[in-house]
Structure 1
Amino acid sequence: MNNRLFKEIDNAPLILFRIFFGFLLACETYGAIATGWVKSNFIDPEFTFSHIGMDWLQPLPGNGMYFYFLVMGTLGILVMLGYKYRFTLGLYTIMWAGVYFMQKTSYNNHYYLLLLVCLIMVFLPANRYASIDAKQNPTLKKLTMPAWCSVVMIAQVAIVYFYATVAKFYPDWLDGTFTKNLLAMHSGNGWFHEIASQKWFYMFIAYAGIAFDLLIVPFLLYKRTRTIALIASIVFHLFNSITLQIGIFPFFALSFVVFFYPPERIRQVFFKKKPVVTHYETTTEKRSILLYFFIPYFIIQLFLPIRHHFIKGDVLWTEEGHRLSWRMMLRSRNGYTYFKVINKANNEPLPYRPLDYMTRKQLGSMRTKPDMLWQTAQRIKKHFKADGFDVAVYVTSKAGINGAPMKTLIDEKADLAAADWDYFFHNDWIVLYDADGNRLE
């Protein structure tokens, strides 16, 4: 195993991935401006719902975030061209981390995957060929890389698909409830809506999703099924792209395919002028990076998606342990929330209207997410403290999962302004229910 990991292989897959990856980085960030995503998430809001503990991370004032994203898009092009690769990708990684941790209103798993792959790619020698770096510095040019460079990319995508499979084994997915609701939301009113509303179709989509996530990596690894897996992957991701309109993710996911094919095959198809390597050696290049960065990294990646099993309650309901866990396109939440603000000095209510301080998009996301409700209560507390009031904040919140009848989400007697957020265990002010739907006290 040691020899196989450190054996040199043609670096064509990594070089090709860098070029396409840089292009996607530019598309993601320029596209965010063009589609209005930057405006709705960073320009219009008075504040953003940052990840808890990073409330200090807020958008640049005025139109600053437009310039922020323009810089990132330019960095993506430079990554594609291989110009000052580690600096440009490193800076993009830091800036994208800022975007990711700065807002949860439009949370998407592919934003997280993008951040992880940026981090991985910073450590890989992806600028050794077909790059401005290699042209300006010929000593940098190299035709090979250690085999583990491909292994870490395969390992990352395997983790994503494995946990995406496991997460689907719950009643609302297995009986087609979620896929039925999802297709109804995205299928419009034409002929496709008629097909999508048929039970056989949404049940097929549900189980095809499980089968694809479970089998795609093994089938790509096995030579005899690789072409079938590639065709299935193209069909699957194009279907998702057209029906769900989820940005670059389908094409991003497809780009990992290059690491499953023999490197020489990638060279023959995409780099016809690239010299053929006649002798491959075993190298210890970057061995310390594999041992001291990637092994701990993958241990963390294996643990994070299962942490919700160690937290009391159903993650579908509490959301505790939901993020960073590859629980993708898995549930919908609906509900409503009211805040009751009480002046502790005289026990009198104080008026507070959330929509005066946040956008409708933020309100729609916040009203059924316990962590965002808690953050809102903390903001309310600070808001009134600035006016000299010490307040308690009580929340009346009802929520339903996948169209199910709504139930109480937050303990009405809990003062969320005084509550702490527990990162690692259950927050007791989130109401729990038994298997029969009875509230647990």
Structure 2
Amino acid sequence: MDKFLFKHIDNTGLVLWRVVFGALIAIEGFGAIATGWVKRTLIEPDFTFNFIGFEFLQPLPGNWMYIYFALMGVFGLCVMLGYKYKWSMFFYALMWSCVYLMQKTSYNNHYYLMMLLCWLMVFLPANKWFSLDAKLNTKIKSPSMPRWVLLVIILQIWIVYTYASVAKWYPDWLDGTVAELFMRGKKDYWLIGPILQIDWIQACITYVGILFDLLIVPLLLWKRTRLVAFCISVFFHLFNSVVFQIGIFPYMSIAFALFFFSSETLQRRFLPKKQLYTAGEIKVPNYKPALIGVFSVYFVIQILLPLRHWTFKDDVLWTEEGHRLSWRMMLRSKSGNATYYVVDKATDSRRRYPIDSLLSRKQRRAVRTKPDMIWQLCQRIKEAENKNGRDVAVYVDARVKINGGGSNQLIDPKVDLASEPWKHFEHHPWILPQPESYKKKKIKKK
């Protein structure tokens, strides 16, 4: 165990990853301002839909979120340069975690992955070489790292890709329905739009997605297939970047290859002046029990979280229970309509509640199809009515379409959602049972 985990190996891959990762998270911070994401998601809405239980996390008032993200960008640059690395990485991880938990209208799996990687990087010795820290304090300078550092990153990546593949093993993905629906929205893309409508292209997207996610890590681990796998990875992620426009995630994924190529190759191509470490010393730290304990618990959680949706009643595509934090990436197309009603308990009068004025356009789409956000909006409506001296019940008439299927009732319209408790680990009975035909496709190709 000591030889496997604590034998020292060359740290060129980790050092280069720190530079690339720091640059990417800096781009995420500054880019969120430049593209208007901060304005649309955190400033313009009257409120955000937090992860339930984190209601105390709210965007800063006025334009302070611009300053917040600019500061994150500065911390990202410090990580890239290796300046005050531990503190810079810690504060970026903390600030990004707050952003992630304070809003889920713009939920993306890569936001979750970035949060995990940020916290992992806080504990990794990524500033031991090619950093301002090592230049200013030569005592910390080292060309090596313990092997567990490499194993932690590779295992995290492997979990992500494996679950992303397994989640696609369901009929609507396998028969090409999901690919067709997604590509239909890309038909106006310059040059590639018409190509993406071709049947065999959509079939390739369907099955390449499954095979890539399942096999890319093993192929990168095996020396004979590493270069080919890397070339495939570059094409795959650049394709996703162009077609789906998902920010820094494709480039971060390409950079994962730094943990798979040999240190000799990386050192020769990127850091020719760096000392190549080959001594292979075994240095067992005093904190070995704590290290093994913490990472064992962490990876048990990472393996179990994506499986939790099997503990809930009905299909996760229908209920959304267990959907987040489980690497279920771009698996379904979902649309719907929802009407909110309030009933004054004193007078028994019923009226339709105008939600459009309360929400941004993206929030309006979310509260039509996502049960947890529907429930949260009902709580806010009740709070707003209580401030005006009215004790009300809140009912929702919501119908959804999944993967081009028919419209079906999602929420029990007879249940006062404002009085229902939220249960993190139980199925909510006010989510109606899934109809047998809820995924029946009505797609007709032109």
Using the size of structure 2 for normalisation, the TM-score is 0.96
Q: Note the C-alpha offset of 1:359.
A: 1.2
Partner residue in 1 for 2:392: 391
Q: Which aligned pairs between 1:93-242 and structure 2 lie closer than 5 A?
A: 93-188=93-188, 190-242=190-242
Q: Note the C-alpha offset of 1:166.
A: 0.6
3-state SS of paired residue (1:433): coil
Partner residue in 1 for 2:61: 61
Q: Note the C-alpha offset of 1:129.
A: 0.7
* CA distance, structure 2, for counterparts of residue 352 and residue 398 of structure 1: 17
Give yes or no for contact 1:381–1:390 (8 Å, CA) kept in 2. Answer: yes
Give yes or no for contact 1:234–1:254 (8 Å, CA) kept in 2. Answer: yes
Q: Note the C-alpha offset of 1:437.
A: 4.9
Partner residue in 2 for 1:37: 37
Partner residue in 2 for 1:88: 88
Partner residue in 1 for 2:430: 429
* CA distance, structure 2, for counterparts of residue 431 and residue 175 of structure 1: 27
3-state SS of paired residue (2:395): strand
3-state SS of paired residue (1:62): coil
User: Match for 2:295: what amino acid?
Assistant: F
* CA distance, structure 2, for counterparts of residue 392 and residue 57 of structure 1: 26
Using the size of structure 1 for normalisation, the TM-score is 0.97
* CA distance, structure 2, for counterparts of residue 70 and residue 189 of structure 1: 32
Q: 1:279 to 1:125 in 2, by over 3 A?
A: same
- 344-353 or 360-369, which moves further after superposition? 344-353
3-state SS of paired residue (1:268): helix
3-state SS of paired residue (1:238): helix
Q: 1:361 to 1:436 in 2, by over 3 A?
A: closer
Q: Note the C-alpha offset of 1:367.
A: 1.2
Partner residue in 1 for 2:334: 333
Partner residue in 2 for 1:364: 365
3-state SS of paired residue (1:94): helix
Q: Note the C-alpha offset of 1:20.
A: 0.5
Q: Residues 85-123 of structure 1: CA distance to partner in whole angstroms, max 9, x if unpaired?
A: 111110110100010001111100000000000010101
2:25 is aligned with 1:19? no
Q: Note the C-alpha offset of 1:191.
A: 4.5
* CA distance, structure 2, for counterparts of residue 307 and residue 95 of structure 1: 27
3-state SS of paired residue (1:405): coil
* CA distance, structure 2, for counterparts of residue 61 and residue 44 of structure 1: 11
Partner residue in 1 for 2:412: 411
- 202-211 or 190-199, which moves further after superposition? 190-199
Q: Which aligned pairs between 1:251-400 and structure 2 lie closer than 5 A?
A: 251-285=251-285, 287-288=288-289, 290-350=291-351, 352-400=353-401
Give yes or no for contact 1:13–1:263 (8 Å, CA) kept in 2. Answer: yes
Q: Note the C-alpha offset of 1:45.
A: 0.4
* CA distance, structure 2, for counterparts of residue 32 and residue 166 of structure 1: 31
User: Match for 1:59: what amino acid?
Assistant: P
Partner residue in 1 for 2:444: none
* CA distance, structure 1, for counterparts of residue 436 and residue 310 of structure 2: 16
Give yes or no for contact 2:9–2:278 (8 Å, CA) kept in 1. Answer: no
**Cα RMSD after superposing both structures:** 1.4
Q: Note the C-alpha offset of 1:417.
A: 0.5
* CA distance, structure 2, for counterparts of residue 146 and residue 276 of structure 1: 15
Ranges of 4+ aligned residues in structure 1 off by more than 3 Å? 434-438
Partner residue in 2 for 1:72: 72
Q: Note the C-alpha offset of 1:32.
A: 0.5
* CA distance, structure 1, for counterparts of residue 402 and residue 341 of structure 2: 24
Q: Residues 179-213 of structure 1: CA distance to partner in whole angstroms, max 9, x if unpaired?
A: 11111212425542322112111011100100100
Give yes or no for contact 1:165–1:214 (8 Å, CA) kept in 2. Answer: yes
3-state SS of paired residue (2:242): helix
3-state SS of paired residue (2:347): coil
* CA distance, structure 1, for counterparts of residue 17 and residue 276 of structure 2: 19
User: Match for 2:373: what amino acid?
Assistant: M
User: Match for 2:79: what amino acid?
Assistant: V
Q: How many residues align?
A: 438
Q: Note the C-alpha offset of 1:56.
A: 1.9
* CA distance, structure 2, for counterparts of residue 50 and residue 189 of structure 1: 33
User: Match for 2:356: what amino acid?
Assistant: L
User: Match for 2:216: what amino acid?
Assistant: I
Give yes or no for contact 2:186–2:196 (8 Å, CA) kept in 1. Answer: no
* CA distance, structure 2, for counterparts of residue 276 and residue 215 of structure 1: 30
The percentage of counterpart residues that share the same residue type is 50
* CA distance, structure 1, for counterparts of residue 130 and residue 290 of structure 2: 24
Give yes or no for contact 1:105–1:366 (8 Å, CA) kept in 2. Answer: no
Q: Residues 211-267 of structure 1: CA distance to partner in whole angstroms, max 9, x if unpaired?
A: 100110110011111111001000000000111111100001111111111223222
Partner residue in 1 for 2:443: none
User: Match for 1:413: what amino acid?
Assistant: K
Q: Note the C-alpha offset of 1:351.
A: 5.1
* CA distance, structure 1, for counterparts of residue 213 and residue 53 of structure 2: 33
Q: Which runs of 5+ in 1 are unaligned?
A: none
3-state SS of paired residue (2:417): coil
